[in-house]
Amino acid sequence: MTGSFFFLSVSGGIMKKIIITIISLSLLFLFSCKEKQEVIKLEGIVNFVSGEVLLKTTNGEFQARVGDFVAEGITVKTGAKSAVDIYFNQNVIRILENSAVSIHELFQEAGTGKEFTEFYVENGKVFSKVSRKLVSGEKYQITTKTTVAGVRGTEFFVEESEDVSRIACIEGTVAVKKADEDDSKFINLEAGNEAVLDENKEFDLRELEGQNKENIQKIRDEIKEMRKDIRDKFDKQREKIRKEVSDLKDATKEKVAEQKILDKENVKAAKEASKAKVSEMRGSIDDKKSEAKTAVDKFEKPDIKGVKPDIKKLGQ
């Protein structure tokens, strides 16, 4: 009975380990098969340049020219009395004089087609026109060291200086918050209004009027229409992106198919290894039982015949 109990306990423990191992491997394979969201880097194109406009890249600074591509990681700098218009597909930004703006994010998810754009205004003024309404999950933000402005299809203006941070909404709605706050703190800024972050680090929400309103409307009116050669470049870019998306999807299908085959082989190998381990353990247990039986058979019992205990009678 003792031997049987020992065998069942060990076998039960082994089987539990085998089951846990197989389940763990299955979960690992499941996560490894999950499609990774591939991204495609996008590019903007310079449409208009006035004065000194530099593009700062990892290879140095270069004077911007109409038709130049700008991508994630590039910083655009403008000098005195200078400006530049950059188109990003249907969207456009105008960077005004004495400004420095970095492109923090500029990509598209291959699987969903969603676009993600973020500009960081180190200092200066930027006017942004978002022509295409964003879908759920997409992102178009302009951030500064103190503020964040996120949009859903609109025209707005961002200014960052040592003394003030200003976000003005011309059309649509802009969601604004302080840079150190979480997303639950966003405030919707309606058209014709501005939010000014003063020296006390509090937003002053007020109507956009007077000279500020005229200046921003003038900037909007001055933005140049996209040139035909720039539009042609975007058409070629879209075709390139379509091909990249198609190639990525084909490659993903192949990877998933290969992973499924590999998963089956791994599970099969895990099961065979588990069976071998159980067989090995059973063989070891049988050997132990055999050794125990042999030891019992060889055990010599003491001969107690003729041996009587010396029992004294009472009173002797």
Q: What is the pLDDT along the chain (316 residues), one digit of tens a residue?
A: 444 333 334 455 555 565 566 556 555 555 544 456 688 999 999 999 999 999 999 999 999 999 999 999 999 999 999 999 999 988 999 999 999 999 999 999 988 889 999 999 999 999 999 988 888 899 999 999 999 999 877 899 999 998 889 999 999 999 999 999 999 999 999 999 999 997 777 889 999 988 889 999 999 999 999 999 999 999 998 888 888 888 877 776 777 777 777 777 788 777 777 777 777 777 777 777 777 777 777 766 666 666 566 656 555 5
> Which DSSP string corresponds to 162-226?
SS-EEEEEEESEEEEEETTS-GGG-EEEETTEEEEE-TTS-EEEEE--HHHHHHHHHHHHHPPPP
pLDDT for 24 equals 62
Sign of the C-alpha dihedral, residues 305, 306, 310, 311? positive
pLDDT for 99 equals 98
Distance of alpha carbon 65 from alpha carbon 126, whole angstroms: 19
Domains (range + CATH), the chain: 39-246 (2.60.120.1440)
- pTM (two decimals): 0.69
pLDDT for 202 equals 83
pLDDT for 119 equals 98
pLDDT for 278 equals 72
CA dist 294 → 4, 200, 279, 297 (Å): 17, 91, 22, 5
